[in-house]
Structure 1
Amino acid sequence: MNQDWRGLLSRRVLTVVSLSLLLGLISGEYAWSLVAGLGAYLYWNLRQLVRLYLWLKHAGPDELPPESNGLWGEVFDAIYHLQKRNQRARGRLQAVIDRVQESTAALRDAVIMLDAQGNLEWWNRAAETLLGLKATQDGGQPITNLVRHPRFKEYFAQENYGEPLELPSPVGDHIRLQFQLTLYGNGEHLMLVRDVTRVHQLEQMRKDFVANVSHELRTPLTVLTGYLETLLDNVDEVQPRWRRALQQMQQQGTRMQNLLTDLLLLARLEATDYPADNRPVAVAPLLQSIRSDAIALSAERGHRIELQADPALLLKGSEAELRSAFSNLVFNAVKYSPEGGDIRIRCWRDAEGAHLAVQDSGPGIEAKHIPRLTERFYRVDASRAANTGGTGLGLAIVKHVLLRHRARLEISSTPGKGSSFVCHFPPAQIATR
């Protein structure tokens, strides 16, 4: 194609030069004839260029190009056909965009597009209902100015959107929304917002039911265990052969009391998003106390429990809740590690925050069980769990305590080689002296 264009242009120039020289031969003025011929050719090309400019600037969508011949005619036709192809492509793209907008407008879930800085670019009608967005004034506004909840600001700033976030709607506290952010393109955000009010109400009913039943069972169970303890103290006066039955009843009563205590603790943890007694907690002395309790729990089993903790580390939060979470991890390591096993407790901090790791030399956990370990009453091995006397709520308590302290639990394990439980606290949870 390039050779055709060059050949056509060369022929045009040779024709002009030839005609100019022929005119010079007739007039006897070769130089002026050549100048006049080339000038006329240049003027004609400039005139075609101006026609092209005016057509491109003022032409309507379907206006035909100016009539011309030769090279400029080919240029006009090529540009005209290129415009037509672009118009068809734009039409197809616009049709796709219109269908996408119509489908998203019909969704009951809010779809919101944000730029890399978190400013609003586009949203569907459901976003106006769920979040109260207004098309006339909210375009280009930062999303954090419209959803002002502190937890949403933390969630948006961390850029780790693996888990959704549930918050009350800015429109009204009676509406519960689930926020899910996804990164795409050059740092832009796609935010999906779903109304989960009904699910939240059902979950709240379940929590209230468990809390109320646990509270109501606590009093009669205390009475039963109290009488059992009295009977055991005087079992010889009643019937010596009842000793075994009374002891088993007392053991099961104690187990039920522990279960109710854990259920009530979980209900209390779920009641609020952040501990009320929030103050700096010295981690090293806390872990030293837990280590002493773990040594007492190990007793004759002879576990080697090693502790390495940053003596200057302070965490913001509730000391009682942190003690409950950390002791659950350490006591689990003692229960599931074989006699003489090694248990290592480490606590350190770095640029990513503070970390607590509990490693044991127990039997390990298969990978298929790890995602469900923090569920309530989930058992990897029901018979083994029954032997340890656990309630099945320990890791659920750990999970909720960490959520209240903006932290997360990472579990890794290899069957036959032990397990590792690591609590990761963000830098914002580290307190200064």
Structure 2
Amino acid sequence: MRSWFTGRMMSVLAIGLFAGWLADQVFLGLFIATLIYLVWSHRQLHRLLGWLDQAAHKEQDPPESSGIWGEIFDGIYRIQRRHNRSKQRLANVIERIQESTAALNDGIIMADKHGCLEWWNRAAGELLGLQMPDDQGQPLTNLVRNPKFASYMEHSRGKDPIKIDSPAHENRQLQIAITVYGQGNRLLLVRDVSRLHQLETMRTDFVANVSHELRTPLTVISGYLETLTDGLEMNPDTPPVFKRALSQMQEQASRMQRLIEDLLLLSRLEATEPERLSQAVALYPLLSGIVNDAKALSGENQHQLQLECDDGSSVTGDTMELRSAFSNLVYNAVRYTPAGGKVLVKWWQDQEGGHLMVQDNGVGIDPVHIPRLTERFYRVDKSRSHVTGGTGLGLAIVKHVLLRHEARISISSHPGKGSRFICHFPLSRINQTKTINV
């Protein structure tokens, strides 16, 4: 191509040189030949620019030309055709993706790193009340005015999905999960969980109602059992088998009462929203009272209980709920630690927040069970709960209390090496002064 172009240009110059030699004006001939070639090239360049300008709006065939400019026109046209085919393929792929996502019942939303809407499917528009194209480019938090959602948008990385009320439909519950990708862009998955929420509410109400209805007859039964026991104790002729039967009946009635109380507490924790409490719960007297009760629970087993707490430290929250959570952890440590074992209750603070640890050197737990320990009625060994009198709800209560206080629990344990439960509280809920060890 280059040799052909050079040969043609040299031919034009040779013609100009020959014409100039005939006219006895060699340089004038060269000048005229060069000028003619430049004018022709300028005209071709002008045609090229005009074609490119028109091709930007719609596809057109290239102008007819010859030589090097004809090759340029044809080469650009071939590139343009390949580009248009690739563009059409990409457009078809995008169209198929949009059609498939539009058919989903779950909402999908794409937002930039600032939280502004870029694209969403039909389901997301219906669930959140988004309007195309009016809401495009708008901050999503301006359209979904929910403090919980706004906080989730700001701190969504690595967090579990949240549930909020639909801003477009009453009595509909939405679950929203956010995935961060690219340069901070967000992909939101919106799911209608109203049916699951209704079933969960029905289950919670059923458990609460049944527990409440069982409380009164069980109280009556326990009262009569206590009366019968007192009467039999006063009668020296009472057969031992009757005393043993009444003792077992009282023991099982007490266990059922504890189970009902735990069910009612758990139902209340699940059914009510946590309040933004401003009460500062003093940790040292709270934990000291729990440790003293644990010593009484230990009785003849003589467990070694140690408390390390910061005098004056406090957690913002509900006193009764925190007492229930902490006492469950400490009492479990006593129940599942052999006689003479050690139980450490320790509170400390670092740059991440406040932490309450309950550690024992008891029987321990196989790590395979740890992910399910906070499930209601989950038992590592079913026979152990009958021996210790546990209800299987203690750790579920602990988890729900901590969630209501913006806290979480971490568990580590190995068989024969004891267990360690740590409650982690955010800095916003703690306060600390000096230290006392007892």
TM-score past 0.5 threshold: yes
| 342-351 or 328-337, larger mean C-alpha shift | 342-351
Structure 1, 29-38 or 278-287: larger mean CA deviation: 29-38
- In structure 2, the partner of 1:384 is 384
Residue type of the alignment partner of 2:47:
R
Give the match for residue 336 of structure 2.
Answer: 336
CA 1:94/1:163 → structure 2, altered by over 3 Å: closer, same or farther? Answer: same
Matched, 1:51 2:12: no
Structure-2 separation of matches of 1:416 and 1:281: 35
Task: Name the structure 2 match of 1:97.
Answer: 94
Compared CA separation, residues 10 and 367, structure 1 to 2 (3 A): farther
CA pair 414-13 structure 1, distance change in 2 beyond 3 A: farther
**For 1:41 and 1:315, how far apart are their aligned partners in 2?**
90
**Counterparts of 1:409-420 in structure 2 under 5 Å?**
409-420=409-420
CA distance in 2, matches of 1:429, 1:18: 93
Secondary structure of 2:65's aligned partner = coil
Specify the alignment match of 1:249 in structure 2.
249
Alpha-carbon distance between aligned partners in 1 of 2:98 and 2:151, rounded to the nearest angstrom: 30
Identity rate, percent: 55
Per the alignment, residue 294 of structure 2 pairs with 294
Residue 152 of structure 2 is aligned with which of 143, 151, 155?
A: 155
Q: 1:265 aligns to what?
A: 265
What corresponds to 1:139 in structure 2?
A: 136
Distance 2:342 2:13 in 1: 99
**Does the 8 A contact of 2:201 with 2:271 survive in 1?**
no
Q: Which amino acid aligns with 2:152?
A: Y
Matched, 1:210 2:226: no
Q: Distance in 2 between matches of 1:275 and 1:232?
A: 44
Between stretches 127-136 and 195-204, larger displacement belongs to 127-136
User: Which amino acid counterpart does residue 362 of structure 2 have in structure 1?
Assistant: G
Secondary structure class of the residue paired with 2:207: helix
Aligned residue among 109, 115, 122 for 1:125: 122
2:322: which partner in 1? 322
CA pair 234-136 structure 1, distance change in 2 beyond 3 A: same
1:42 positional shift: 4.5
TM-score by length of 2: 0.88
Q: Mean Cα displacement is larger for which, 35-44 or 165-174?
A: 35-44
- The farther-off stretch of 172-181 and 358-367 is 358-367
**Aligned residue identity for 1:52:** L
Please give the per-residue CA displacement for 1:236-294, whole angstroms capped at 9, x wherever unaligned. 33424222111111111111110011001011111212137552223344333333333
Q: How many Å apart are 1:84 and its aligned residue?
A: 1.2
Is residue 357 of structure 2 the alignment partner of residue 360 of structure 1? Answer: no
Q: Could you give the per-residue CA deviations for residues 170-223 of structure 1, whole angstroms, max 9, x where no partner exists?
A: 124411111122222222112122222122111111111111111111111111
Secondary structure of the corresponding residue to residue 386 of structure 2: helix
Mapped to 2, the partners of 1:236 and 1:295 lie a distance apart of: 29
Letter in 1 for 2:46: V
Residue-pair matches, total: 429
Give the Cα–Cα distance (whole angstroms) in 1 for the partners of residues 183 and 295 of structure 2: 53
Give the CA deviation at 1:77: 1.7
Greater alpha carbon shift after TM alignment, 300-309 vs 146-155: 300-309
Aligned-partner Cα distance in 1 for 2:53–2:127: 45
Range 352-361 or range 392-401, more displaced: 352-361
Amino acid at match of 1:344: L
- Indicate how the Cα distance of structure 1 residues 72 and 174 shifts in structure 2: closer, same or farther if over 3 A, else same: same
Deviation for aligned residue 1:6: 5.5
1:155–1:161 Cα contact (<8 Å) kept = no
